[in-house]
Structure formats: structure tokens, C-alpha cells
Amino acid sequence: MNLIEQNLTAIREKLPEGVTLVAVSKTKPIEDLQEAYNAGQRDFGENKIQELIYKQPLLPSDVRWHMIGHVQTNKIKYIAPFIHLIHGIDREKVLVELNKRAELEGRVIMGLLQIHIAQESEKFGFDTKDVENLIPHLNERYPHVQIKGLMGMATFTRDTHQIANEFKGLADFFHRCIETHGMAWDTLSMGMSGDYELALKAGSTMIRVGSSIFGARSPH
């Protein structure tokens, strides 16, 4: 077994039933993605649209591509034909453009609403209040976008209590949207290499793991 395969196996062993592992392959060469693919990995996450459209034709067509980064609306058209799930829907402008491009492609594109749960102000996302106002109108305004749930990123800190609290807050809000607003949601994307075990404890259904699979990324 090569290292990527070993890492994938070690993480999969810790995953509860029904949790999806998205392998975050940003900055990594195609050979690394191919190794993960050969080890059975099908969900891959990238945070830049340029990189997604470069890599997508180089891997087999049964790969499910996830856009996990901040979305520049003028580039949505390039991924609209093939993207599986957009995690970082953080403002209504993204929904408007996504709906338009999905309609032109004759498809429905799945996405997650990103919620701002971290203390750092530079992380993107909606406030929960905005989302509660928005969700009753999603289907009528954006019929070509199917929202499947929520995504969030915890504060980058060593304080595991704080991280666990932020994940719990997001999970509570996720369940409130389902119970109070009747949303048919099944996806709660939270947890990365450093904090996915805390996220799983809080009820994550999708973790986005990069460096624990592919090794550290070199800083740009």
C-alpha cells in the first residue's frame, strides 16, 4: 500500500456509517489524485475554480468534484457542466448566478449554504438569521439549485472546547432548519484534518480532509 492509500484507509476506519470523506486535493499533482482514485476514492475537493477545471478532464468521469472554496461568481460557468456539490455558497449573489448557469446547462446543481461559525472575521459565510429568512424562498427563487444542507469552518485554534462548541452550534442550527422549517437536508459538511474527529462527534455527515491524506501543502 502506498502512503496515500494508507492514509485513506486509516481515516475511513474512523468514519461512522453514512459519512462521506471528501479528499481535498488542492495544490496536489494529478498523480496524487490518481493514487487516491485507485484506492477507491471518488469524492475530491478543490478550492479554486481554475484548478478544478484543469484537473477534472484528467481523472475518470465517475469522480464527484466538490467546490469547497470561496466562489467567484464570474467563474461559475466553467464548473456548471460537471460540479457535484458546491460547499461555499456564502451570499445570495452566488445562488443567482448558480441558478442561471444550471438552467443553461439543463441541470440542477447541488450546494450547501456556508455559515460563519468561526471567530475570525475573514472566514466567509451567512449568519444564521439570514439563512432563516432565505430558506423559505429557496425553491421558488432558485429552482435549478438544490440546497442539501450546511457547511462551516471552525476557528483555527488549539482550544478544542471552542471548536467543539462551534460545530455543535452549526449542528443544532442544521437540525432546527430540518425540524422547524421542514428542509429536506441530509448534508452537514464540517471537519478538516485538524478537527474532523470533533466534527464527527458533533454529527458531521461530510468531512473535507486534505493534508492528512496527501501530506502538508507548501505555502504559496
Which residues contact ligand PLP (rule: CB under 6 A)? 24, 26, 47, 68-69, 153, 192-194, 208-212
Residue 91 CB, nearest approach to ligand PLP (Å): 16
- In whole angstroms, give the CA distance from residue 44 to residue 21: 9
Cβ proximity to ligand PLP, 144 vs 152, nearer residue: 152
- Compute φ and ψ for 219, nearest 5 degrees: -70, 145
Cβ proximity to ligand PLP, 144 vs 208, nearer residue: 208
Cβ proximity to ligand PLP, 47 vs 99, nearer residue: 47
Q: Which amino acid is at 127?
A: D
Cβ proximity to ligand PLP, 111 vs 210, nearer residue: 210
Residue 212 CB, nearest approach to ligand PLP (Å): 6
What are the helix (H) ranges across 14-146? Answer: 30-38, 49-55, 76-79, 92-105, 128-134, 138-141
- In whole angstroms, give the CA distance from residue 220 to residue 216: 12
When CB distances to ligand PLP are compared, the closest residue is: 210
Residue 26 CB, nearest approach to ligand PLP (Å): 6
Residue 30 CB, nearest approach to ligand PLP (Å): 18
- In whole angstroms, give the CA distance from residue 75 to residue 189: 23
Decide: helix, strand or coil at residue 115. strand
